[in-house]
Structure 1
Amino acid sequence: MAGDDAPSGRGVFAPFAVDRRLSRGRRIPEAPSPTRTPFARDRDRILHSTAFRRLNYKTQVFIYHEGDHYRSRLTHSLEVAQIARSIARALKVDEDLTEAIALAHDLGHPPFGHAGERALDAAMTDAGGFDHNAQSLRVVTKLERKYGGFDGLNLTWETLEGLVKHNGPLLGGDKPVPEPILDYCATQDLELDTYPSLEAQIAALADDIAYNAHDIDDGYRASCFSFTALAAVPIAGRLLAEVDAAYPKLEDTRRLYELNRRLITAMVDDASAETHTRLARLKPGSADAIRQAGSATAAFSASMLRELAGLRAFLFASVYRHPRVMRIMGEAEDLVVELFQRYARDPDALPPEWREEARAHDDRAYARHVADFIAGQTDRYALAEHRRLFDATPDMR
């Protein structure tokens, strides 16, 4: 169903941008909006969703109660969306679609970030596993329940495609396709064997840019490393030298911000230049030409990838594997496993609305039902649930 919303028109979009007039539409047809494009409408539905609001109390790296200035999944998503929209504008592709994918990309994250994801995946070993991208798809197609005519948000095919495939094709790789994605594609084919649109690829790059920069910011504020240690990383050391040359004896908080803004600019400029180079070589005449290219079109240069590999190695050693972070995330994994096991053996431990629906499920479907409930929890709700159900709950500090 092409162009289910207005206004239409190509404007100044590049020929390889997703053409809103040729949108494959929504699974449940809806009347067009007189004021918003289909992808702007998707973005707005994501922003107004319950799952998006809950991201405010879900861990990025540091748990919410460790400090008010650390990123949460919500602030991370907003930063990703800002960066993605800027790159999309420079490349003349659809900003609304890019922003919608960026805002939705972490909706499926459980409490306590990747620690919670590892715990749920282990608990779901015999029931299809758990993957946060697949869970994001479940959120926007099933678990959000606010509209009269459908479950989920009834987003366009292009937004769903970008949400599922923003990191590349799912078929033909080393990892199996998550079961919830295969289940959904049985009703609406998201073409898992191709690359996504350039808009989705830009959202994925923006995710990398955002967390590379803000994990430095949060890690330093958490005293995980010193400026001296950071300066030993080539890209950070070079940018710190620029800051110090421009602003001698700058106080630490300003020095940190000046480093981060230069790092973001360097990554954005590199990604834009490399993507322009690949577009010039490919000469795509449509969004489908991007999908069929056989490799990513939006990307960092080889030299930037080498520099970012060094930065990521530093962050892993200094932040993600910091003893305090490891201890807290270990406690978080244990807590999520204990919650899953309790709900799995005792449906009466679930809240009434979840308990009632559980009665209709077989064992495998019930495990997914429990995973849906836990994945929707915020950090603080999961802690409160554990205190309600168990005699001792870790402080995670």
Structure 2
Amino acid sequence: MLALIAARRFGPLFVTQFLGAFNDNLFKTAFIFAVTFRLRADDPAGAAALATVAAGVFIAPYILFSGLAGDLADRLDKALIAVWVKVAEIAFMGLGTLALALDSEALCLGVLALMGLHSTIFGPVKYAILPQHLAERELLLGTGLVEGATFVAILLGQIAGGLLPTGLAGPVAIGIAVAGLLSARFIPPAPPAGERGRIDWNPLTSTRTALGHAFSSRPLSIATLAISWFWALGAIYTSQFVPLARNYLGGNEALATFFLAAFSVGIAVGSAGVARLLRGRISARLAAPAVLVMALAALDLYFAESAFSGAPAGSISGLLSRPAGWRLMFDLLAMALAGGVFSVPLYGILQTATRPQARARTIAANNIVNAIFQVGGVLIIGSVLGGGAPVPLALAAAGLTGLLLIPLLRQLP
């Protein structure tokens, strides 16, 4: 693992994508904290609404421009795209620093949209480039490291965005973007697999083409839908950690952050470890058992939480001082570990079951469906909770939906 990270054919990409994911969440969290605790401190409802708008503004480019991003990555050198994206990130973070200094909500939202576009363009690159630089036996490990590092970077970016003073968040983000550019310059060339062809700059037609590639065969269709379900489940759970900690366990933001950390690290460990379990072979044979573990963990988490009814945990130490608290954390970690084992081989199928000339567009289409599933999942869970369902029950039900995928997963190689 360490040898692969140290190799030029993987290490610079690994660092570049880690820093990009970190910066996205650093700026987004810094903005949300500025709104919540300063700009709209006397308007909690308005602050919450603006945080929701910020999330929507960031994810919208994935739906609108992923098709174009995939087309670019299939027709241009992927390493060159990475450098261009990092140059743009420095400019965006400079603009973001100005927006935070001016306390401009509108400008901050504009920067979030630009950072969403930055991540949209880089998204197909980071997975489509791996088969060009890694041996077949290394591909699963490389993909797992990229996915696991992404979750850790998201976590660390959110923590940094909450801890750093607003005046420092922008300059730090610029420094991180510069470091990302330096690492991107060391990514080895990754030219197009076929003839360059003509780039389709129309977002609608490029999206339609990308989706056509992703749903051109049953294995690709199943892998795309299953990965998107996993990202939707992750979005649902992470969006409800604060209400779960505060309203059902009597805890605070530290307890919610503890849940997020455990969930993120668990996915990272599962993502990095699945290559060893499968001995480097790209296979979905562990996907069905993994989704079963996730469903059982979600169900047991519901019963573990019920032990705190009338006797809230209050804090991290209070949670871990009781057997039910350890049970709850075990369930959360088991779900996250299984999630990493579940998703990484499915990405491997996307990378290898499509034509090399269309690999990036296939991955881009997966990003489109992922974004739609995440938005849809959060809206559905919000509607269910708005109807009066308790958070633990809603989370258990969300986890159990994975059982519907088992017949499809058994059709994969």
Say which one has the larger Rg: 1
Q: Give TM class, smaller chain.
A: under 0.3
Larger RCO, structure (CA 8 Å, separation 6 or more): 2
Q: TM-score of the superposition, structure 1-length normalised?
A: 0.28
